[in-house]
Amino acid sequence: MRITSVSAIQPTSAGSPDDWRTWMGQIAVSVKTEDGLTGYGVGGGGAAGIHVIETELRRLLLGCDATRVESLWDEMYRTTRPYGRKGIAVMAISGVDLALWDLRGKREGRPIAGVLAGNNGSPPEAVRCYMTGFSAEEVIRSGAKGFHALKFHAGLKPNRDIADVAVPIRRVRDALGPDVRLMADAAMNLDVDTALRLIDALQGSNLDWLEEPLPPEDLEGYRKLRDQSPIPIAGGEHESTADAFDVLMRDRLHAIVQPDATWCGGLTELLKIYRMGENYGVRVCPHRGSEIWALHAIASIDPDPLAESRRPWIDWVNGQPEIADGCVTLGGVPGFGVRLPSRPGRGGQKG
């Protein structure tokens, strides 16, 4: 199954540097083979990620056997190592890797969840997911819609009043009761002292985790939180490669790691991270887990499957699974079960 074509487009208009969360730098990757199959994946890095694919990865991959998914990952990583190792290069590799996995599922006639489960039984048809809200009222409304796990996105900045976050979270807990799983996301906005003050104010709210209180490069700060926080610390969505997650887990810098399949190196690296989590006793809960790229792994190999609800920035991917009653349902279509656009601004079809 030789590769005959590798292409990448930017499916949505690029936002400004200040509003990257509205489009996430996503790129749509297509890999075609001589037998007529097309595999689809999503990576990151915007136009820069596309440049890596078009100038480096494409010439490496053309003519290669598409079934060598893991070894092709190694070759792509070695090729981009002089200027890569993390960031945009690995985001580009992520999209190609996911497309190669999509081809594997289509070749075998099975959804990726079935490929990963192998002979260990059928993966569940539905996975519990959690909804994120940006206000106490939004989180409470999501709880009323059947979500039993919810996250409050706290936009707290250093030197702001801790009560701006602590009071709404306590209100959510009081409204929803003790049985709903509740998390908070600080979005990398705090320093260590502010994070510790917030953690102290949140004691009694029974949080599953506090997500990304510090910037990802502040490893020393995370060591301090590890030693002092009674609330589990989550993070890692901006990390790349299993090697980087090995550091986070070996040093217990995060109690929960959150790799993003479209940024960390694709499904190949996500599977390695899951194995590391099992070895280290650290929970893995992928970022944007209800998007199709990580969902199949969550359904097939996660001992406590929980998927983060998707956001509007992925609506251009048609065939995404439905979310209802607090669960996301997988389909039985071979591969990832989606089809991506071939031209900028075009939607895809299921299949």
Give the whole-angstrom CA distance, residue 248 versus residue 254.
6
Q: What is residue 147's predicted lDDT score, i.e. its pLDDT?
A: 93
Give the whole-angstrom CA distance, residue 171 versus residue 200.
16
Q: What is residue 19's predicted lDDT score, i.e. its pLDDT?
A: 58
Q: What is residue 118's predicted lDDT score, i.e. its pLDDT?
A: 86
Give the whole-angstrom CA distance, residue 351 versus residue 349.
6
Is residue 173 within 8 A of residue 141, CB to CB? The reply is no
Q: What is residue 150's predicted lDDT score, i.e. its pLDDT?
A: 97
Give the whole-angstrom CA distance, residue 149 versus residue 181.
4
126, two tokens: 């539905």
Partners of residue 153 on adjacent β-strands: 185
Superfamily of domain 3-109: Enolase-like, N-terminal domain (3.30.390.10)
Q: Catalytic site residues?
A: 287
Q: Please list the residue range(s) of the chain that carry CATH number 3.30.390.10.
A: 3-109
Other residues' Cβ atoms within 10 Å of the Cβ of residue 348? 18
Q: What is residue 348's predicted lDDT score, i.e. its pLDDT?
A: 44
Q: What is residue 331's predicted lDDT score, i.e. its pLDDT?
A: 84
Which single residue is written with the structure tokens 């998707």? 310
- The yes or no reply on domain 117-329 and CATH 3.20.20.120 is yes
Q: What is residue 347's predicted lDDT score, i.e. its pLDDT?
A: 46
Q: What is residue 14's predicted lDDT score, i.e. its pLDDT?
A: 65
Give the whole-angstrom CA distance, residue 236 versus residue 244.
9
Give the whole-angstrom CA distance, residue 257 versus residue 243.
13
Other residues' Cβ atoms within 10 Å of the Cβ of residue 86? 16
Q: Which residues of the chain have pLDDT under 70?
A: 14-23, 157-160, 311-313, 345-351
Q: Please list the residue range(s) of the chain that carry CATH number 3.20.20.120.
A: 117-329
Q: What is residue 337's predicted lDDT score, i.e. its pLDDT?
A: 95
Transcribe 119-186 into DSSP letters: TS-PPPSEEEEEEEESSHHHHHHHHHTT-SEEEEE----TTS-THHHHHHHHHHHHHH-TTSEEEEE-
Strand ranges for the chain from DSSP E: 3-9, 27-33, 38-43, 126-133, 149-153, 181-185, 209-211, 233-235, 256-257, 283-284, 307-308, 323-324, 327-329
